[in-house]
Amino acid sequence: MLKTIALNGTKKGVISITKIDEPYGKGSHSVASIGISLAGNAGEPEWKVHIPLENLDEVIEALRELK
């Protein structure tokens, strides 16, 4: 796990962020995996999204604009 962040507004919830290499099999591109666990289990999040590393700069910029 690269980073775990406390999920605001919950008692035990966490946001987990990690890099996964070849998530869809040999030769697939690496992704940033962002998971949410209300139960606090960063290793088995209830929700997750995979963002190709090539899209991270645009996603980060969009999140900054949202803030």
Q: Dump the DSSP string for the chain.
A: --EEEE-TTSSS-EEEEEEESSTTSTTPPPEEEEEEETTS-TTS-SEEEEEEGGGHHHHHHHHHHH-
> Would you list the domain boundaries of the chain?
3-66
1, 28 Cβ separation under 8 angstroms: no
What is the rounded end-to-end Cα distance, in angstroms, of the chain? 25
1-29: pLDDT as tens digits: 789 999 999 999 999 999 999 999 999 99
- Give me the pLDDT at residue 47, please: 97
24-59: pLDDT as tens digits: 999 999 999 999 999 999 999 999 999 999 999 999
Would you give the distance in Å from CA 35 to the centre of its chain?
5
